[in-house]
Structure 1
């Protein structure tokens, strides 16, 4: 399942050069570069007021990546045959943006719930989602970009893609410029939101980075199909909160700004 976002992460730097007037030919037909851009504008992946001449670097690659994500294609950011063929298919004229927001919010909630559950199995804590943005949550999760007023700005796609603050602050931030995915797609084309969330929640609960190989609290993320906490992670979290028991303390969390 994908979202916009062992084996080990594959970091790809995509570079594409587009020349005005290019034509892209597929087995299904032909599209010019202008037609591709107009299609992405009509489906709201590119703002209507952006022209080819003043289009910021990376805009087209980002739009193509988001289109591929929505169309359940491999997310490459490239105008490959599969992507162009999908653009040539008959489709509803309603833009994708609103549906994408709803889908990603649901997937994001699921990834967060699973990430909290893996810690809750080891300690006497219950993590509960609170849907009221005006309520006070113990853990506040946000998707933000660049400078977001916490003293640790993000750097765009790649590099640093999430961070959290130790207790009692309860702030967990994900870089909204990244391509966030879940499941096997993350091993190929982006970052696994679930795995990164498990790591960052560990920080928010009080854990520092670990030097132990295989620990989820190591400083470098890795994709693992069936993630389990390392004994080092379990010992660390239980040293702070005790072992799992029937008597549990509730901790509330809120998710905001999910694109």
Structure 2
């Protein structure tokens, strides 16, 4: 599957197509069978690694200038792994993790020039939502016909309200739920198989969700997944935490690409039955450089809390329900 065009190629195509791409490249999160998470000790599968490097933009079929070792080193750098250029077990286990299907290896020109140490990236052309009103006011709505059998609508609404609130707390943007799906800025729904946007979902695991860049606003989740809000209640080994995926996908809706910081919400991989719902400093600085800062937000407070323990997070999330 090579329908994901990679930003590095954009300088070779026409400007019109560049605009088309920035509006239509979906962001997908992909998961695989949990048995694949354990890397095999023996056969380091070079063809599997090469396929992965092709799919996520590190190796181009028509470009012989990049060696396998160089491509693998870039992958290791982008995922914050030790840069060995060798298919070691750490790298192989990462290649087999569930992840977002959008290429990581974006053109360095699309990163923020004034934060060279930061690991966040943007879509080609750094698109963002623009409105005449400050703070920016965006609406979101759920498709009535397209929900998930695993959760009630109030459960889904609570998860997304929390996920949007995390981003709203750091930038001058408000997110308001509306009943009108057709006219809302951000349209959220659970869809099965081919659902008309050129990016068919593929059944259990595989692709989990995809999102389009600003100002498209479509946020689609795969209806085939076992979506969960509480792993004590949902025992399935392939359960996927809805809030973790929601926080990540809203970052894409706002215009962020992937981060190489493992703790960041915008890092590309997420294991089944795991939660990652808090914004990291990297996510915050990335989104603030697109939209500015929420005047009530204190970055030094976040820095301090990140160095202290995160044990309180689970308590906090549960008590909000």
Residue 66 (structure 1) aligns with: none
* 8 Å CA contact retained: 1:215, 1:233: yes
Structure 2: runs of 5+ lacking an equivalent: 1-30, 36-147, 297-321
Residue 117 (structure 1) aligns with: 165
* Count, aligned residues: 151
- Report deviation, 1:133: 3.5
* 8 Å CA contact retained: 1:130, 1:137: yes
CA distance in 2, matches of 1:180, 1:102: 6
Higher relative contact order by CA 8 Å / sep ≥ 6: 1 or 2? 1
Residue 103 (structure 2) aligns with: none
Asked whether 1:221 is paired with 2:221, we answer no
CA distance in 2, matches of 1:10, 1:214: 21
Residue 254 (structure 2) aligned to one of 186, 205, 213: 205
CA distance in 2, matches of 1:239, 1:211: 17
Structure 1: runs of 5+ lacking an equivalent: 1-8, 14-99, 247-259
CA distance in 2, matches of 1:145, 1:10: 17
Asked whether 1:193 is paired with 2:235, we answer no
Residue 132 (structure 1) aligns with: 180
- Report deviation, 1:244: 0.7
**SS of residue matched to 2:231:** helix
* 8 Å CA contact retained: 2:150, 2:227: no
TM-score (norm 1): 0.53
CA distance in 1, matches of 2:281, 2:209: 24
1:206-253 C-alpha deviation (Å, 9 max, x unpaired) = 00011122111111124665732111100111011111136xxxxxxx
1:109-144 C-alpha deviation (Å, 9 max, x unpaired) = 11111110111111011110001345x111011110
Structure possessing the higher radius of gyration over alpha carbons: 1
TM-score (norm 2): 0.43
**SS of residue matched to 2:155:** helix
* 8 Å CA contact retained: 1:10, 1:187: no
CA distance in 2, matches of 1:239, 1:187: 40
* 8 Å CA contact retained: 1:10, 1:188: no
- Report deviation, 1:11: 4.8
* 8 Å CA contact retained: 2:186, 2:218: yes
Residues 210 and 156 (structure 1 numbering): CA distance in 2 closer, same or farther, change over 3 Å?
Answer: same
CA distance in 2, matches of 1:132, 1:230: 32
- Report deviation, 1:101: 6.0
CA distance in 1, matches of 2:276, 2:201: 29
Cα RMSD, aligned residues only? 2.6
1:180-229 C-alpha deviation (Å, 9 max, x unpaired) = 00133468630001110000010001000111221111111246657321
Residue 157 (structure 1) aligns with: 204
